[in-house]
Structure 1
Protein backbone atom coordinates (compact mmCIF):
# COMPACT_ATOMS: atom_id res chain seq x y z
CA UNK A 1 0.00 0.00 0.00
CA UNK A 2 2.38 2.68 -1.20
CA UNK A 3 1.84 6.19 -2.40
CA UNK A 4 2.83 6.47 -6.07
CA UNK A 5 5.47 9.00 -6.90
CA UNK A 6 4.30 11.85 -9.10
CA UNK A 7 6.52 13.23 -11.84
CA UNK A 8 4.05 15.87 -12.94
CA UNK A 9 4.02 17.90 -9.75
CA UNK A 10 0.87 19.51 -8.42
CA UNK A 11 0.63 22.63 -10.57
CA UNK A 12 -3.00 23.55 -11.01
CA UNK A 13 -4.13 21.16 -8.26
CA UNK A 14 -6.50 22.76 -5.70
CA UNK A 15 -4.78 23.63 -2.43
CA UNK A 16 -6.76 21.15 -0.29
CA UNK A 17 -6.14 18.31 -2.73
CA UNK A 18 -2.43 19.12 -2.83
CA UNK A 19 -2.35 19.15 0.97
CA UNK A 20 -3.99 15.72 1.09
CA UNK A 21 -1.48 14.38 -1.41
CA UNK A 22 1.36 15.65 0.76
CA UNK A 23 -0.14 14.09 3.88
CA UNK A 24 -0.61 10.73 2.15
CA UNK A 25 3.00 10.77 0.96
CA UNK A 26 4.30 11.85 4.37
CA UNK A 27 2.28 9.16 6.16
CA UNK A 28 3.80 6.56 3.86
CA UNK A 29 7.30 7.95 4.44
CA UNK A 30 6.98 8.15 8.24
CA UNK A 31 5.24 4.77 8.41
CA UNK A 32 7.87 3.05 6.29
CA UNK A 33 11.07 4.64 7.61
CA UNK A 34 10.09 5.97 11.05
CA UNK A 35 10.40 9.56 12.16
CA UNK A 36 14.18 9.36 12.48
CA UNK A 37 14.69 7.86 9.03
CA UNK A 38 12.04 9.85 7.18
CA UNK A 39 13.18 12.49 4.69
CA UNK A 40 11.21 15.60 3.79
CA UNK A 41 12.97 15.60 0.44
CA UNK A 42 11.62 12.09 -0.17
CA UNK A 43 8.10 13.22 0.77
CA UNK A 44 8.34 16.13 -1.65
CA UNK A 45 9.62 13.82 -4.39
CA UNK A 46 6.73 11.42 -3.85
CA UNK A 47 4.27 14.23 -4.60
CA UNK A 48 6.34 16.05 -7.21
CA UNK A 49 6.72 19.32 -5.29
CA UNK A 50 9.64 21.17 -3.78
CA UNK A 51 10.78 20.73 -0.21
CA UNK A 52 10.25 24.48 0.22
CA UNK A 53 6.58 24.13 -0.68
CA UNK A 54 6.24 21.29 1.81
CA UNK A 55 7.62 23.56 4.54
CA UNK A 56 5.23 26.32 3.50
CA UNK A 57 2.28 23.99 3.98
CA UNK A 58 3.31 22.23 7.19
CA UNK A 59 6.31 23.91 8.81
CA UNK A 60 8.86 21.64 10.45
CA UNK A 61 9.32 17.90 10.15
CA UNK A 62 7.67 17.47 13.54
CA UNK A 63 4.71 19.62 12.47
CA UNK A 64 4.27 17.43 9.41
CA UNK A 65 4.43 14.28 11.52
CA UNK A 66 1.73 15.61 13.86
CA UNK A 67 -0.42 16.48 10.85
CA UNK A 68 -0.15 12.83 9.77
CA UNK A 69 -0.60 11.45 13.28
CA UNK A 70 -3.83 13.22 14.24
CA UNK A 71 -6.09 11.77 11.53
CA UNK A 72 -4.52 8.33 11.97
CA UNK A 73 -4.95 8.45 15.74
CA UNK A 74 -8.50 9.78 15.53
CA UNK A 75 -9.46 7.10 13.04
CA UNK A 76 -8.02 4.20 15.06
CA UNK A 77 -9.23 5.39 18.45
CA UNK A 78 -12.71 6.05 17.09
CA UNK A 79 -12.83 2.63 15.44
CA UNK A 80 -11.85 0.84 18.66
CA UNK A 81 -14.37 2.81 20.73
CA UNK A 82 -17.18 2.07 18.32
CA UNK A 83 -16.29 -1.61 18.09
CA UNK A 84 -16.31 -2.02 21.87
CA UNK A 85 -19.77 -0.49 22.05
CA UNK A 86 -21.71 0.81 25.05
CA UNK A 87 -22.91 -2.52 26.48
CA UNK A 88 -19.72 -3.99 27.86
CA UNK A 89 -17.24 -6.55 26.62
CA UNK A 90 -18.39 -9.93 25.32
CA UNK A 91 -16.43 -12.89 23.90
CA UNK A 92 -17.12 -11.46 20.43
CA UNK A 93 -15.59 -8.06 21.24
CA UNK A 94 -11.91 -8.87 20.51
CA UNK A 95 -12.68 -10.06 16.98
CA UNK A 96 -14.96 -7.08 16.40
CA UNK A 97 -12.19 -4.73 17.53
CA UNK A 98 -9.66 -6.36 15.21
CA UNK A 99 -12.07 -6.06 12.30
CA UNK A 100 -12.54 -2.37 13.09
CA UNK A 101 -8.78 -1.81 13.24
CA UNK A 102 -8.26 -3.46 9.86
CA UNK A 103 -11.10 -1.46 8.31
CA UNK A 104 -9.75 1.82 9.73
CA UNK A 105 -6.28 1.11 8.32
CA UNK A 106 -7.35 -0.05 4.87
CA UNK A 107 -5.83 2.14 2.17
CA UNK A 108 -3.36 3.60 4.67
CA UNK A 109 -1.94 0.58 6.48
CA UNK A 110 1.42 2.16 7.32
CA UNK A 111 -0.37 4.81 9.40
CA UNK A 112 -0.29 2.20 12.20
CA UNK A 113 3.49 2.66 12.37
CA UNK A 114 3.09 6.43 12.49
CA UNK A 115 1.07 6.08 15.68
CA UNK A 116 3.45 3.51 17.17
CA UNK A 117 6.74 5.03 16.02
CA UNK A 118 9.58 4.26 18.43
CA UNK A 119 11.98 6.82 16.93
CA UNK A 120 10.15 9.99 17.96
CA UNK A 121 12.33 12.62 19.62
CA UNK A 122 11.71 12.79 23.39
CA UNK A 123 10.00 15.75 24.97
CA UNK A 124 8.37 17.16 21.85
CA UNK A 125 4.84 17.65 20.60
CA UNK A 126 5.05 14.57 18.39
CA UNK A 127 5.74 12.07 21.16
CA UNK A 128 3.25 13.81 23.48
CA UNK A 129 0.41 13.51 21.00
CA UNK A 130 1.34 9.94 20.07
CA UNK A 131 1.39 8.92 23.74
CA UNK A 132 -2.06 10.43 24.24
CA UNK A 133 -3.53 8.25 21.52
CA UNK A 134 -1.66 5.15 22.66
CA UNK A 135 -2.77 5.66 26.27
CA UNK A 136 -6.40 6.09 25.25
CA UNK A 137 -6.31 2.88 23.18
CA UNK A 138 -4.51 1.05 26.01
CA UNK A 139 -7.17 2.19 28.50
CA UNK A 140 -9.90 0.71 26.30
CA UNK A 141 -7.93 -2.53 25.99
CA UNK A 142 -7.33 -2.70 29.74
CA UNK A 143 -11.01 -2.25 30.51
CA UNK A 144 -12.07 -4.80 27.93
CA UNK A 145 -9.60 -7.49 28.97
CA UNK A 146 -10.48 -7.03 32.65
CA UNK A 147 -14.16 -7.51 31.83
CA UNK A 148 -13.46 -10.66 29.87
CA UNK A 149 -11.45 -12.14 32.73
CA UNK A 150 -14.09 -11.29 35.33
CA UNK A 151 -16.69 -13.02 33.17
CA UNK A 152 -14.46 -16.12 33.08
CA UNK A 153 -14.04 -16.13 36.86
CA UNK A 154 -10.56 -14.62 37.20
CA UNK A 155 -10.16 -11.88 39.79
CA UNK A 156 -6.38 -11.66 39.69
CA UNK A 157 -5.38 -8.13 38.59
CA UNK A 158 -2.10 -9.50 37.24
CA UNK A 159 -4.08 -11.73 34.89
CA UNK A 160 -5.77 -8.63 33.49
CA UNK A 161 -2.47 -6.78 33.17
CA UNK A 162 -0.79 -9.73 31.43
CA UNK A 163 -3.71 -10.19 29.04
CA UNK A 164 -3.73 -6.50 28.13
CA UNK A 165 -0.03 -6.64 27.26
CA UNK A 166 -0.56 -9.84 25.27
CA UNK A 167 -3.47 -8.28 23.39
CA UNK A 168 -1.49 -5.18 22.52
CA UNK A 169 1.35 -7.29 21.16
CA UNK A 170 -1.06 -9.54 19.26
CA UNK A 171 -2.74 -6.62 17.48
CA UNK A 172 0.61 -5.09 16.52
CA UNK A 173 1.90 -8.44 15.22
CA UNK A 174 -1.23 -9.08 13.15
CA UNK A 175 -1.07 -5.60 11.62
CA UNK A 176 2.59 -6.11 10.72
CA UNK A 177 1.75 -9.43 9.06
CA UNK A 178 -1.14 -7.79 7.20
CA UNK A 179 1.07 -5.00 5.87
CA UNK A 180 3.31 -7.70 4.35
CA UNK A 181 0.27 -9.28 2.68
CA UNK A 182 -1.45 -6.41 0.85
CA UNK A 183 -3.68 -8.86 -1.03
CA UNK A 184 -5.55 -9.59 2.20
CA UNK A 185 -8.67 -7.45 2.64
CA UNK A 186 -9.90 -6.35 6.09
CA UNK A 187 -12.71 -8.90 5.85
CA UNK A 188 -10.30 -11.70 4.96
CA UNK A 189 -8.03 -10.74 7.84
CA UNK A 190 -10.95 -10.72 10.26
CA UNK A 191 -12.02 -14.20 9.14
CA UNK A 192 -8.41 -15.37 9.47
CA UNK A 193 -8.28 -14.04 13.02
CA UNK A 194 -11.54 -15.85 13.81
CA UNK A 195 -9.92 -19.12 12.71
CA UNK A 196 -6.82 -18.41 14.78
CA UNK A 197 -8.92 -17.60 17.85
CA UNK A 198 -10.89 -20.81 17.39
CA UNK A 199 -7.68 -22.82 17.17
CA UNK A 200 -6.27 -21.15 20.28
CA UNK A 201 -9.50 -21.79 22.20
CA UNK A 202 -9.18 -25.50 21.42
CA UNK A 203 -5.83 -25.73 23.24
CA UNK A 204 -6.49 -27.55 26.53
CA UNK A 205 -5.85 -25.72 29.79
CA UNK A 206 -2.84 -26.93 31.82
CA UNK A 207 -3.54 -29.28 34.73
CA UNK A 208 -4.17 -27.68 38.08
CA UNK A 209 -7.01 -25.39 37.12
CA UNK A 210 -7.23 -21.63 37.25
CA UNK A 211 -5.55 -19.56 39.92
CA UNK A 212 -7.29 -16.47 41.20
CA UNK A 213 -7.04 -14.07 44.08
CA UNK A 214 -10.01 -13.16 46.26
Structure 2
Protein backbone atom coordinates (compact mmCIF):
# COMPACT_ATOMS: atom_id res chain seq x y z
CA UNK A 1 0.00 0.00 0.00
CA UNK A 2 1.33 3.46 -0.92
CA UNK A 3 2.15 5.83 1.91
CA UNK A 4 -0.41 8.67 2.32
CA UNK A 5 2.29 11.28 1.77
CA UNK A 6 3.82 9.57 -1.24
CA UNK A 7 3.67 11.03 -4.73
CA UNK A 8 4.14 9.09 -7.95
CA UNK A 9 6.96 6.67 -8.65
CA UNK A 10 8.12 6.91 -5.06
CA UNK A 11 8.50 10.72 -5.11
CA UNK A 12 7.26 12.28 -1.83
CA UNK A 13 4.11 14.33 -2.31
CA UNK A 14 5.69 17.63 -1.20
CA UNK A 15 8.54 17.15 -3.66
CA UNK A 16 6.10 16.32 -6.45
CA UNK A 17 3.95 19.36 -5.65
CA UNK A 18 7.04 21.57 -5.70
CA UNK A 19 8.02 20.17 -9.09
CA UNK A 20 4.53 20.75 -10.50
CA UNK A 21 4.42 24.32 -9.19
CA UNK A 22 7.80 25.17 -10.67
CA UNK A 23 6.82 23.84 -14.10
CA UNK A 24 3.33 25.36 -13.94
CA UNK A 25 4.68 28.76 -12.86
CA UNK A 26 7.03 28.83 -15.84
CA UNK A 27 4.23 27.78 -18.19
CA UNK A 28 1.63 30.23 -16.85
CA UNK A 29 4.19 33.04 -16.70
CA UNK A 30 5.26 32.42 -20.29
CA UNK A 31 2.00 31.57 -22.09
CA UNK A 32 -0.51 33.14 -19.70
CA UNK A 33 -3.43 31.55 -17.90
CA UNK A 34 -5.60 31.28 -20.99
CA UNK A 35 -2.79 29.92 -23.15
CA UNK A 36 -1.76 27.18 -20.72
CA UNK A 37 -3.40 23.78 -20.40
CA UNK A 38 -3.16 21.32 -17.53
CA UNK A 39 -2.30 18.67 -20.12
CA UNK A 40 0.82 20.62 -21.16
CA UNK A 41 1.95 21.01 -17.55
CA UNK A 42 1.36 17.32 -16.86
CA UNK A 43 3.34 16.34 -19.95
CA UNK A 44 6.28 18.56 -19.00
CA UNK A 45 6.22 17.19 -15.44
CA UNK A 46 6.01 13.60 -16.69
CA UNK A 47 2.83 12.89 -14.74
CA UNK A 48 -0.88 12.45 -15.44
CA UNK A 49 -3.54 15.18 -15.55
CA UNK A 50 -5.60 13.43 -12.85
CA UNK A 51 -2.67 13.71 -10.46
CA UNK A 52 -2.60 17.50 -10.90
CA UNK A 53 -6.35 17.68 -10.31
CA UNK A 54 -5.92 15.44 -7.27
CA UNK A 55 -3.31 17.82 -5.80
CA UNK A 56 -4.78 21.20 -6.78
CA UNK A 57 -8.43 20.60 -7.65
CA UNK A 58 -8.55 22.59 -10.89
CA UNK A 59 -6.54 24.74 -13.26
CA UNK A 60 -7.60 27.75 -11.20
CA UNK A 61 -6.44 26.03 -8.02
CA UNK A 62 -3.08 25.30 -9.61
CA UNK A 63 -2.68 28.92 -10.72
CA UNK A 64 -3.60 30.16 -7.26
CA UNK A 65 -0.95 27.86 -5.76
CA UNK A 66 1.60 29.26 -8.23
CA UNK A 67 0.65 32.79 -7.17
CA UNK A 68 1.05 31.92 -3.50
CA UNK A 69 4.46 30.39 -4.17
CA UNK A 70 5.66 33.26 -6.39
CA UNK A 71 4.25 35.98 -4.16
CA UNK A 72 5.94 34.55 -1.10
CA UNK A 73 9.30 34.34 -2.89
CA UNK A 74 9.14 37.96 -4.11
CA UNK A 75 7.73 39.44 -0.89
CA UNK A 76 10.23 37.61 1.31
CA UNK A 77 13.14 38.98 -0.73
CA UNK A 78 11.85 42.55 -0.39
CA UNK A 79 11.28 42.00 3.34
CA UNK A 80 14.82 40.65 3.71
CA UNK A 81 16.23 43.84 2.22
CA UNK A 82 13.91 45.98 4.35
CA UNK A 83 15.37 44.38 7.50
CA UNK A 84 18.86 45.52 6.49
CA UNK A 85 20.64 48.77 7.29
CA UNK A 86 20.16 50.50 3.92
CA UNK A 87 17.95 53.60 3.93
CA UNK A 88 16.57 56.02 1.38
CA UNK A 89 17.64 55.64 -2.23
CA UNK A 90 20.21 53.01 -1.25
CA UNK A 91 17.41 50.80 0.04
CA UNK A 92 15.52 51.33 -3.20
CA UNK A 93 18.50 50.36 -5.31
CA UNK A 94 19.21 47.32 -3.15
CA UNK A 95 15.57 46.29 -3.58
CA UNK A 96 15.90 46.53 -7.36
CA UNK A 97 19.18 44.62 -7.27
CA UNK A 98 17.65 41.91 -5.12
CA UNK A 99 14.67 41.59 -7.44
CA UNK A 100 16.83 41.36 -10.55
CA UNK A 101 18.99 38.66 -8.96
CA UNK A 102 15.98 36.73 -7.69
CA UNK A 103 14.10 36.87 -10.98
CA UNK A 104 17.01 36.32 -13.37
CA UNK A 105 16.56 32.50 -13.39
CA UNK A 106 12.76 32.71 -13.06
CA UNK A 107 11.47 35.94 -14.67
CA UNK A 108 8.08 34.36 -15.29
CA UNK A 109 7.21 34.84 -11.61
CA UNK A 110 6.68 38.57 -12.17
CA UNK A 111 4.25 38.05 -15.03
CA UNK A 112 2.07 35.72 -12.97
CA UNK A 113 0.75 38.78 -11.16
CA UNK A 114 0.08 40.83 -14.28
CA UNK A 115 -1.70 38.34 -16.52
CA UNK A 116 -4.73 39.95 -18.22
CA UNK A 117 -6.06 36.50 -19.17
CA UNK A 118 -6.25 35.28 -15.55
CA UNK A 119 -9.61 35.38 -13.72
CA UNK A 120 -10.27 38.88 -12.37
CA UNK A 121 -12.54 37.72 -9.54
CA UNK A 122 -12.48 34.94 -6.98
CA UNK A 123 -9.55 33.31 -5.18
CA UNK A 124 -7.00 34.14 -7.90
CA UNK A 125 -7.84 37.86 -7.79
CA UNK A 126 -7.79 37.72 -3.98
CA UNK A 127 -4.32 36.17 -4.03
CA UNK A 128 -3.01 38.84 -6.42
CA UNK A 129 -4.48 41.56 -4.20
CA UNK A 130 -2.98 40.00 -1.07
CA UNK A 131 0.59 40.05 -2.36
CA UNK A 132 0.16 43.41 -4.11
CA UNK A 133 -0.88 44.85 -0.74
CA UNK A 134 2.03 43.16 1.04
CA UNK A 135 4.57 44.49 -1.46
CA UNK A 136 2.84 47.88 -1.61
CA UNK A 137 3.15 48.36 2.14
CA UNK A 138 6.87 47.64 1.98
CA UNK A 139 7.23 50.14 -0.86
CA UNK A 140 5.33 52.79 1.10
CA UNK A 141 7.55 52.19 4.12
CA UNK A 142 10.70 52.68 2.04
CA UNK A 143 9.32 55.76 0.26
CA UNK A 144 8.22 57.33 3.56
CA UNK A 145 11.74 56.82 4.88
CA UNK A 146 13.22 58.44 1.77
CA UNK A 147 10.83 61.38 1.86
CA UNK A 148 11.42 61.94 5.57
CA UNK A 149 15.16 62.08 4.97
CA UNK A 150 14.43 64.79 2.40
CA UNK A 151 12.37 66.70 4.95
CA UNK A 152 8.94 65.86 3.53
CA UNK A 153 6.40 64.02 5.68
CA UNK A 154 3.26 65.00 3.75
CA UNK A 155 1.07 61.89 3.58
CA UNK A 156 -0.31 62.64 0.12
CA UNK A 157 3.18 63.29 -1.24
CA UNK A 158 4.30 59.95 0.19
CA UNK A 159 1.27 58.22 -1.33
CA UNK A 160 1.94 59.79 -4.73
CA UNK A 161 5.64 58.93 -4.64
CA UNK A 162 4.83 55.33 -3.65
CA UNK A 163 2.65 55.04 -6.76
CA UNK A 164 5.47 56.50 -8.87
CA UNK A 165 8.02 54.07 -7.40
CA UNK A 166 5.82 51.02 -7.95
CA UNK A 167 5.22 52.18 -11.51
CA UNK A 168 8.97 52.51 -12.10
CA UNK A 169 9.63 49.02 -10.75
CA UNK A 170 6.85 47.50 -12.84
CA UNK A 171 8.04 49.32 -15.98
CA UNK A 172 11.64 48.21 -15.45
CA UNK A 173 10.56 44.60 -14.96
CA UNK A 174 8.40 44.68 -18.08
CA UNK A 175 11.27 46.17 -20.11
CA UNK A 176 13.64 43.54 -18.76
CA UNK A 177 11.28 40.69 -19.60
CA UNK A 178 11.08 42.06 -23.15
CA UNK A 179 14.90 42.03 -23.32
CA UNK A 180 15.73 38.57 -21.93
CA UNK A 181 19.42 38.71 -22.89
CA UNK A 182 20.02 41.39 -20.26
CA UNK A 183 21.56 39.99 -17.08
CA UNK A 184 20.68 41.06 -13.55
CA UNK A 185 24.03 42.86 -13.29
CA UNK A 186 23.46 44.68 -16.58
CA UNK A 187 20.02 45.77 -15.40
CA UNK A 188 21.45 47.08 -12.16
CA UNK A 189 24.13 49.05 -13.99
CA UNK A 190 21.45 50.41 -16.33
CA UNK A 191 19.39 51.58 -13.38
CA UNK A 192 22.41 53.36 -11.93
CA UNK A 193 22.95 55.16 -15.25
CA UNK A 194 19.29 56.13 -15.45
CA UNK A 195 19.38 57.43 -11.90
CA UNK A 196 22.50 59.48 -12.65
CA UNK A 197 20.86 60.90 -15.78
CA UNK A 198 17.78 61.94 -13.83
CA UNK A 199 19.38 63.34 -10.71
CA UNK A 200 23.02 63.86 -11.62
CA UNK A 201 26.06 61.80 -10.71
CA UNK A 202 26.43 61.93 -6.95
CA UNK A 203 30.10 61.04 -7.08
* TM-score, length of structure 1 as denominator length: 0.78
Q: Distance in 2 between matches of 1:171 and 1:140?
A: 13
Match of 1:176 in 2: 174
Q: Distance in 1 between matches of 2:91 and 2:97?
A: 10
Per-residue CA deviations over 1:26-77 (Å, capped at 9, x if unaligned) read: 1122212333443212222333433223222322112111221222111111
Q: Is the 8 A contact 1:81 1:140 kept in 2?
A: yes
Task: Give the Å deviation of 1:80.
Answer: 0.7
Aligned with residue 22 of structure 1, among 10, 20, 23 = 20
Residues 68-107 of structure 1: matches in 2 within 5 Å? Answer: 68-85=66-83, 87=85, 89-107=87-105
Task: Give the Å deviation of 1:86.
Answer: 5.2
Alpha-carbon distance change, 155 to 57 in structure 1, aligned in 2, over 3 angstroms: closer
4+ residue stretches of structure 1 with deviation over 6 A? none
Equivalences, count = 194
- Of 149-158 and 186-195, deviating more is 149-158
Task: Give the Å deviation of 1:21.
Answer: 3.2
Match of 2:4 in 1: none
Task: Give the Å deviation of 1:87.
Answer: 4.8
Match of 1:196 in 2: 194
| Structure 1 unmatched runs, 5+ | 1-10, 204-214
Q: Distance in 2 between matches of 1:13 and 1:70?
A: 26
Q: Is the 8 A contact 1:44 1:54 kept in 2?
A: yes
| Structure 2 unmatched runs, 5+ | 1-7
- Of 129-138 and 65-74, deviating more is 65-74
Task: Give the Å deviation of 1:88.
Answer: 6.9
Task: Give the Å deviation of 1:199.
Answer: 1.2
Aligned with residue 52 of structure 2, among 51, 54, 62 = 54
* TM-score, length of structure 2 as denominator length: 0.82
Task: Give the Å deviation of 1:111.
Answer: 0.8
